Copies of this chain bind each other. A is one copy, B any other.
Amino acid sequence: MHIPAPVLNPPFNVTRSSHVVLTVRDLDVSRTFYTDLVGLVVSDADRETVWLRGREESAHHSLVLRKGATPNCQRLGFRVLTDDDILKAKDHFDSIGVPAQIVDVPYQGKTLHVRDAIGMPVEFTSSMPFRERMFMAYDQYRGAAAQRIDHWQIQAQNVRRAFDFWHPLGFRTSEYTYSEVPGGGVDLWGVWMQRKGNPHDQVFTNGPGPRLHHFAYLLRDTADLMHACDVAGALGLGRRLERGPGRHGISGAMFIYFRDPDGHRIEMFNTHYQNIDLEPPIGWSLSNPKRADQWGMPARAKWFNEATVFEGAEPVEPDLAADVPTLEKFLEMTD
């Protein structure tokens, strides 16, 4: 058993991954990318910021684009159930010596800023203004018609350290990748962690970190996923498709990955599973290639190597030395 039992009574109640705040260089170009290709809805916009949400989302924003000279990820946001959970979170972080500030953020209720154990800037918020769910305005669907934010994936310089920070906060592990260490024990290469009852709210994988590898929106179905590719082609963005369409082993999702105009990576996917019951996490040996791809070819090196830097967090090399199974190596081996 490589993963400890889940913490059922965490110090405060995180309910789900909620939003991503990105710096982008050209607000108009990025806005068009996210509305016309990804299919998000604009909740609000001013000269410096665009707030977007998925077709079905009633929370004000799941993606915030902020104009800036240097593309990065400013912050990742979690939702907690009530204002009271923000106070409990503050108490918790104070008690373990993690700096935490309650701050004012536009279109958000009580919000708490923290950096996690690998240096990733996050915030917790208890509420946002409601906006009408737009998922039945089918005549307004565009591109992938992304329905809602689901999760993000982080490159961690030390996956175990990230795990040890988030596990006590009630994040449960659905799946993980490991390798046996000669002499006993395992190295942890990736952990898929969740609060909302499906395979993941956030994922940590080994790599130069902390970096945001990708954030992910749920699509309705395969038809929308393929339509997104076709729309990308029609918009002249066909080369921005960096990986996929494909099918993961871990989580079972059908996926595509695009790079946005600043190189931020967005996954759009469909069909993973419900994970509410208490059940043992699924361990994948690092040597099993089907964890990544059930069919087709592996991801190209760029997919493994490039990621978005977090504001105020210089990435460092990972503690585990990775030998990444890239498309480039695959092509050489199977020539």
- Asked if B221 contacts A247 (CB within 8 A), the reply is no
- Asked if B135 contacts A143 (CB within 8 A), the reply is no
Q: How far is the CA of A235 from the CA of B277 in the complex (A)?
A: 29
Does A58 belong to the interface (CB within 8 Å)?
Answer: yes
Taking A222-B222, A327-B331 as contacts, is the C-beta distance between A139 and B295 under 8 angstroms? no
Q: Which of B81, B135, B247, B271 contacts A252, CB < 8 Å?
A: B135
- Asked if A234 contacts B58 (CB within 8 A), the reply is no
Q: What number of copies of this chain does the assembly contain?
A: 4
- Asked if B232 contacts A273 (CB within 8 A), the reply is no
Taking A290-B238, A295-B241 as contacts, is the C-beta distance between A247 and B276 under 8 angstroms? no
| Interface size classification for chain A | 35 or more
- Asked if B197 contacts A293 (CB within 8 A), the reply is no
Q: Which of B82, B142, B277, B290 contacts A233, CB < 8 Å?
A: B290
Q: Which of B56, B136, B327 contacts A274, CB < 8 Å?
A: B56
- Residues of B close to A58: CB separation below 8 A: 277, 279
- Residues of B close to A105: CB separation below 8 A: none
- Asked if B245 contacts A277 (CB within 8 A), the reply is no
The stretch among A23-31, A91-99, A223-231 that forms the contact with chain B is A223-231
- Asked if A231 contacts B135 (CB within 8 A), the reply is no
- Residues of B close to A141: CB separation below 8 A: 227
Contact with B along A286-304 (1 / 0, CB 8 A): 0000100111110011100
- Asked if A295 contacts B222 (CB within 8 A), the reply is no
Does A66 belong to the interface (CB within 8 Å)?
Answer: no
Taking A136-B233, A233-B295, A235-B139 as contacts, is the C-beta distance between A245 and B226 under 8 angstroms? yes
> A96 to nearest B CB, angstroms?
25
> A208 to nearest B CB, angstroms?
17
- Asked if A227 contacts B138 (CB within 8 A), the reply is yes
- Asked if A294 contacts B230 (CB within 8 A), the reply is yes
Does A164 belong to the interface (CB within 8 Å)?
Answer: no
Known contacts A136-B294, A238-B293, then 4 further A-B pairs from the complex at CB < 8 Å, ordered by chain A residue:
A56-B274, A220-B270, A226-B226, A241-B297
6 closest residue pairs by CB, A with B: A238-B295, A233-B294, A221-B221, A223-B223, A138-B230, A233-B295
Q: Chain A: residues with CB nearer than 8 A to chain B? A: 8, 15-16, 36, 56, 58-59, 79, 81-82, 127-128, 130, 133, 135-143, 147-148, 196-197, 220-224, 226-227, 229-235, 237-239, 241, 245, 247, 249, 252, 254, 270-271, 273-274, 276-280, 290, 293-297, 300-302, 327-328, 331, 334-335
